[in-house]
Structure 1
Amino acid sequence: MKKVLACLFSAVLMVVATACFTLKEPDLAQASTEIRLAHVVNEEDSFHIAAMKFKEIVEERTDGEISISIYPNAQLGDERNLLEGMRMGTVDMGVITNGPVANFVEEIAVLELPFLFPSREDAYDILDGPIGSELLDNLKRVNLKGLAYAERGFRNLTNSKRPVHTPEDVSGLKIRVMENPVYIDTFRALGANAVPMAWTEALTAMRQGTIDGQENPVNVIHAFKLDEQQDYLSMTRHTYAPAIFVMGQMNWQGLSPEQQEIFVEAAQEASEHARQVNFEMEEEQLQELQERGMQVIEEPDLEAFRSEVHSVYDKYGDDFGEYLERILDEL
């Protein structure tokens, strides 16, 4: 009898052990590290397109070890707050416009000097080459990790007052710019009343009419339906604005070397994907804006605009060390 009971007890233990293993195994298989990726624009914007591609690549190449959760529409704060959060470890990563990044690493603002890059291709050659890589590496000074350059794009001027063909047409307009001294001084040089503010605040200010205009790439103007408050779009293409896939150093260092390599590759591939989407969609977006009633000035006097911004180069050229000279030598 004792032998029978012992056998039964052993059998019960085996069943319980098997059941426990079976119950635990799926939990282990599903375990993953969540990375929260934030940006301040909506789901139609190229930032979101880049973020979604990054998520797809990372989750596939890490076999689900890492999951990427995306927080658009400034859900976790404006761009300056996101950068501060990354530095402190309260935000994991983001796609951030280059302008606010320059408030932490001044020399990266060299990329946004007015009329620096003649074409997209020229910008990509610099960003994806040694100069761009060095500038990204400089972010570690402020506890950030730059992964790759996504794209905000060539910026253009919109306003609710009048068509802009020449710098004289800009005079006196109250224009929202990013919280970045190069942008502020560029528009002051053009005669505007430059008003630095976060993008979320700018949207409200345009609706209320407390500012006359803003400057952004076509994809932003289209995605946020700025034609509803802004009657005129002038294709000034005054600045090429990169964006950056950026992480806090704390979260970056928490990745294995293999995962770090995947993140860098994924950020670069996602950036190139978003650039191509921007290029393909711009003509269609411009047409839609015109159909919705926005007047597009396709050929403003760019030479006249260029002649008005020499003071910006004079003021900031030395701040960028050798970077400005190196970029100009490459172009």
Structure 2
Amino acid sequence: MKKLAFTTLTLTLPLAAAGMAFANDFTDMEPVTLRLAHVVNEQDGFHVAATKFEELVEARTDGKVDIEIYPNASLGDERTLLEGMQIGTVDMGVITNGPVANFVEEMAVFELPFLFPSPEAAYEVLDGEIGQELLDKLAEVNLKGLAYAERGFRNLTNSERAVNTPEDLDGLRIRVMENPVYTDTFRELGANAVPMAWTEALTAMQQGTIDGQENPVNVIHSFNLDETQSYMTLTRHTYAPAIFVMGMPAWNQLPPAAQEVLTEAAQEAAEHERQVNAEMESEQLAELREAGMEINDSPDLEAFQSAVVPVYEKYGDQFGDYLERIRATLQ
């Protein structure tokens, strides 16, 4: 017991000292409140990331930077949030990469299907030189990229039938994010791809105007999609990052010490969310099965990968040299 207490103390003291050092930088700073918005509920990984970020920032700035979190799309859908950040009506958010790629096209390289074989492979690219370059490009559209959290590996659900091969998708109306790579991916798979905002998709599934959607397990679980979707296929077809992003109007009002805190806190909160997502997935799948959802955990992935080859032929050279560099990094 004494050994455990000593170990904890030795780990805690450097963190406390670091926190004091941060706080000393903010003695003369005027307090500021930053509104951080996201479009999902409080059970979702985005909220896990946001609350961890809030905790870290407020502690390290001695409360001089206050983070107010607005979940559940209370300030608008993701495109609306990004546009608000550009003009200063929203300060920051945790935003799915797909909508961000509508502002910086090169970021859509991450949306290519079956690009990353594992979460660890994705983290290597996102947290490295390539990911940082793309975050920096957001400045060209009056946004500031801080770090990559995650939406995670996306999977297919639908209300009509079990799906094991692309042929099983024929004619199904599948909601996809408002991003052309996703739209074309699911059209190549044989579905009727329907781009729409997530808030609209929830209503459309309840009303039966769409048959299905694709999202990570954590989203499927936190939004109780088993109530409208009877079938899930663990295609893991795309790894979707999410981005801690600020508007430049909010970023530029902060002193350098606060900017440093926000950048470091965003990275730590992102890594925390990744760990939570990994720990929770098996439990969430078990609960969805118990709720009656039929889950195919071994679909014919080779057939899915073959079907999306035309997506690479169409988009492979539209992202500069990023696709080539990502593949080189993953070799």
Q: TM-score, normalised by structure 2?
A: 0.91
SS in 1 for 2:170: coil
CA distance in 2, matches of 1:112, 1:259: 32
Q: How does 1:167-186 map to 2 (within 5 A)?
A: 167-186=166-185
User: In the alignment, residue 297 of structure 2 is paired with which amino acid?
Assistant: E
Give the Å deviation of 1:254: 0.7
Q: Return the alpha-carbon distance in structure 1 between the equivalents of residues 31 and 253 of structure 2.
A: 13
**Structure 1: runs of 5 or more not aligned:** 1-27
2:78 alignment partner in structure 1: 79
Map residues 179-328 of structure 1 onto 2, 5 A cutoff.
179-328=178-327
CA distance in 2, matches of 1:141, 1:177: 27
Task: Determine helix, strand or coil for the equivalent of 1:91.
Answer: coil
What is the letter of the counterpart of residue 162 of structure 1? R
Alpha-carbon distance in 2 for matches of 1:308, 1:175: 16
For 1:318 and 1:307, the matched residues in 2 are separated by: 19
Structure 2, unmatched stretches of 5+, are: 1-26
Alignment correspondent of 1:154: 153
Change over 3 Å in CA distance of 1:30–1:86 after alignment to 2: closer
Separation in structure 1 between the aligned mates of residue 147 and residue 169 of structure 2, nearest angstrom: 34
CA distance in 2, matches of 1:52, 1:80: 22
C-alpha offsets along residues 196-238 of structure 1, whole Å, 9 cap, x if unaligned?
0000000000000000000000000000000000000000000
2:131 aligned with 1:140, yes or no? no
Tell me, what secondary structure is at the counterpart of 2:318? Answer: helix
Q: Which runs of 4+ in 1 moved over 6 A?
A: 28-31
Cα distance, 1:29–1:130 mapped onto 2, change above 3 Å:
closer
Corresponding residue for 1:49?
A: 48
Query: What secondary structure sits across from 1:321 in the alignment?
Result: coil
Q: 1:30 and 1:203 mapped to 2: Cα distance? A: 43
Structure-1 separation of matches of 2:170 and 2:276: 34
Paired residue type of 1:259: A
Distance 1:246 1:31 in 2: 23
Residue in structure 2 matched with residue 95 of structure 1 by the alignment: 94
Instruction: Please report how far the alpha carbon of residue 112 of structure 1 lies from its aligned counterpart in structure 2 after TM superposition.
Output: 1.2
- State the AA in 1 paired with 2:296: I
Shift, 1:105, TM fit: 0.4
For 1:191, the aligned partner's letter is G
Aligned to 2:162: 163
Distance 1:132 1:223 in 2: 28
Larger radius of gyration: 1
Pick closer, same or farther for the CA change 1:311–1:30 going to 2, 3 Å.
closer
**Match for 2:43: what amino acid?**
E
Question: 1:30, CA displacement in angstroms?
Answer: 12
Residue 194 of structure 1 aligns to a residue whose secondary structure is strand
User: What amino acid maps onto 2:276 in structure 1?
Assistant: V
Corresponding residue number in structure 2 for 1:69: 68
Identity of aligned residues (%): 73
User: 2:30, 2:68 → 1: CA distance?
Assistant: 15
Q: SS at the partner of 2:327? A: helix
Please state how far the C-alpha of 1:93 moved relative to its aligned partner: 0.1
> Once superposed, what is the RMSD of the aligned Cα atoms?
1.2
Matches of 1:92 and 1:131, distance apart in 2: 25
Deviations 1:152-175 (A, max 9, x none): 000000000000000000111000
Amino acid at match of 2:187: R
Instruction: Give the CA deviation at 1:32.
Output: 2.3
Partner of 1:110: 109
Aligned AA (2:37) = A
SS in 1 for 2:202: helix
SS of the residue corresponding to residue 318 of structure 1 reads coil
Cα offset, 1:40, TM superposition: 0.1
For residues 326 and 84 of structure 2, the distance between their equivalents in structure 1, rounded to whole angstroms, comes to 31
Q: Aligned residues, how many?
A: 304
Amino acid at match of 2:76: G
**Residue identity in the other structure for 2:218:** N
| Offset at residue 31 of structure 1 (A) | 6.6
What SS is found at the alignment partner of 1:116?
A: coil
- What is the one-letter code of the residue matched to 1:151? E
Instruction: Report the secondary structure of 1:319's partner residue.
Output: coil
In 2: Cα distance, 1:29 partner to 1:294 partner: 56
Could you tell me how far apart the structure 1 residues matched to 2:28 and 2:90 are? 26
1:11 maps to what in 2? none
Q: Is the aligned partner of 1:126 residue 2:125?
A: yes
The offset of 1:318, in angstroms, is 1.2
